[in-house]
């Protein structure tokens, strides 16, 4: 039996296969105001499949949560029709679609936040970048969140979740990975607080808990997923004991009964190989602590996707780069067909070229 192409239940949904479209920032909203563009609806519709799961790129929950010019957001009414078109395009192919919600935290610039200083749990030296009209520029100096400000950000998550529901999505994913705000609270390299949100891991995950509870208040637990990156280094993130920290995160999320846990495995160090040639590791130590579906992401191909699902360490596999150039990726993997090479030049920004113009294996669009 081909387990990667066997049915699986995720939340209330029965998926027909386990190949997931990973959330990827593609910088193709209409400016100003981050309006979802028609080509975004076409892109997601092309990559949807009957019974498959599509995860929408990181969508900022407020003006001050933004990091990159052209990236997605959903905090005003003018964006609703564009997001409805995206959800409708996935549903027209029989797919399910979750919107990933994000706050960039210190990974931002005052040009992206309406002039407000980027925020973080604590002020820690950071040499990251943001994307403005001048291209990638050093992130603006950040400041530590005041205790009284935190409930407002949690409320922004809740409102964005409600907007996603109103636009016809099937659920939401909390972006707790890649050194953005939720991750900054979780990891002790960036969280130096001495109040209820800092110190021991139980306190550092409080922000995560409150954000998850806000999303659950809208959707119910079985339509909420969470993405984490225990081995991540992006965004200057670090933790003194990542296995202990993220094992605790997994236990906390298991307690909520969420739809799935989405884990970014170690992958890239300057090329497309796994760290030191070793296989993914995070999902193997998280599995004992989280009994729900685990989605693994990070440099997988068909062979390694089959392997991790067959091992039981993950139940589904999310693909990013290979999906950019192969709109019919599940079909190609299932039938062991060659994959079209991805083109980095089209990853971040631009028009339809190298975005919606990749054909399916039979030379058509939108199998």
As annotated, the active-site residues are 180
Question: Cα(147)–Cα(194) distance, rounded to whole angstroms?
Answer: 11
| Tokens linked to 224 | 């909420």
Q: List, in sequence order, every beta strand (DSSP E) within the chain.
A: 8-10, 13-15, 19-21, 53-60, 72-73, 96-102, 119-120, 129-132, 135-138, 143-144, 171-176, 224-228, 260-264, 294-297, 316-319
| Tokens linked to 158 | 């809740």
Torsion of CA 114, 117, 121, 125, to 10 degrees: 130
Question: Cα(356)–Cα(358) distance, rounded to whole angstroms?
Answer: 6
Q: Nearest-5° angle of CA 199, CA 200, CA 202? A: 120
Counting beta carbons within 10 angstroms of the beta carbon of residue 307, is it exposed (0 to 12), middle (13 to 18) or buried (19 or more)? Answer: middle
Determine phi and psi for 352, rounding to 5 degrees. Answer: -65, -25
């Amino acid at each position: 039996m081909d387990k990667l192409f066997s049915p699986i239940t995720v939340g209330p949904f029965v998926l027909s296969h386990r190949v997931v479209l990973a959330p990827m920032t593609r910088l193709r909203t209409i400016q100003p105001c981050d309006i979802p563009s028609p080509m975004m609806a076409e892109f997601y519709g092309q990559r949807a499949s009957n019974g498959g799961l599509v995860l929408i790129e990181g969508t900022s929950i407020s003006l001050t949560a933004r990091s990159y010019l052209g990236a997605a957001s959903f905090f005003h009414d003018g964006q609703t029709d564009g997001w409805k078109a995206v959800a409708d395009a996935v549903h027209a192919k029989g797919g399910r679609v979750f919107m990933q919600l994000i706050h960039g935290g210190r990974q931002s610039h005052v040009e992206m936040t309406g002039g407000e200083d980027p925020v973080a749990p604590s002020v820690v030296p950071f040499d990251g970048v943001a994307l403005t009209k001048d291209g990638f520029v050093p992130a603006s100096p950040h400041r530590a969140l005041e205790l009284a400000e935190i409930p407002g950000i949690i409320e922004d998550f809740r409102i964005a979740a409600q907007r996603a529901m109103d636009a016809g999505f099937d659920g939401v994913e909390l972006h707790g990975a890649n050194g953005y705000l939720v991750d900054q609270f979780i990891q002790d390299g960036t969280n130096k607080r001495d109040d209820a949100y800092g110190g021991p891991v139980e306190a550092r995950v409080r922000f995560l808990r409150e954000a998850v509870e806000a999303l659950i208040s809208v959707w119910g637990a079985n339509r909420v997923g969470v993405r984490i990156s225990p081995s991540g280094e992006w965004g200057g993130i670090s933790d003194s004991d990542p296995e202990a920290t993220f094992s605790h995160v997994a236990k906390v999320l298991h307690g909520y009964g969420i739809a799935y846990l989405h884990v970014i495995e170690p992958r890239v160090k300057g090329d497309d190989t796994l760290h030191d040639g070793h296989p993914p590791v995070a999902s193997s130590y998280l599995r004992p602590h989280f009994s729900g579906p685990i989605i693994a992401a990070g440099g997988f191909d068909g062979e390694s996707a089959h392997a991790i699902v067959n091992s039981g360490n993950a139940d589904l596999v999310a693909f990013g780069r290979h999906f950019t150039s192969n709109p019919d990726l599940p079909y190609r993997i299932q039938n062991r067909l060659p994959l079209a090479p991805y083109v980095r030049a089209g990853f971040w920004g631009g028009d339809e070229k190298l975005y919606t113009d990749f054909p399916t294996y039979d030379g058509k669009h939108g199998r």
